[in-house]
Amino acid sequence: MADRLVERAGPADAEALSALDRHIDPAWVRRCLAAGEYFVAREAGEIVGFLRFTWFWRTMPYMELIQVREDRRRDGIGSRLVAAWETAMRAAGAELLITSSMSDEPGPQVWHRRNGFSESGELTFGRLQQTPEVFFVKPI
């Protein structure tokens, strides 16, 4: 197994993350990078996974997206990304991590629980998102 490195992403990762994180515009990827809101997992210098977060109410870190390359899933990469994020957020003074999953996606919910998160409630967003979003929290 190649050596793995999990670290905060930097400006040099903008092009690769723009290709991988197709949920947001490349300009927003650059904004997130400038704000330090990405962590990446690398193998042999290549990004095999990333975690993007933001600050809910500017005080609580919220994991917006975690993605691991399909052929590298179930190998602990996502958990290592969360552990690095948790360590950095604790150092930044955060006391709680937040994340969420669609209510009809049991697999991600199991993964969140396995990584120490507990269910906190769910919301629907009208016609924008009729399937409830389940929120999870983890005190740190």
pLDDT of residue 1: 43
Domain segments of the chain as ranges: 1-82, 95-140
CA 109 to chain centre: 14
pLDDT of residue 3: 58
| Assessment of whether the complete model's pTM goes beyond 0.85 | yes
Q: Is 102 exposed, middle or buried (0-12, 13-18, 19+ CB in 10 A)?
A: middle
43-59 residue pLDDT tens: 989 999 999 999 999 99
DSSP-derived 3-state class of residue 120: strand
**Are residues 101 and 133 in contact, defined by beta-carbon separation less than 8 angstroms?**
yes
| Residues 6 or more apart in contact with residue 102 via CB below 8 angstroms | 108, 131, 132, 133, 134
Assigned CATH topology for domain 1-82 = Aminopeptidase (3.40.630)
Where the chain has pLDDT below 50, the residues are 1-2
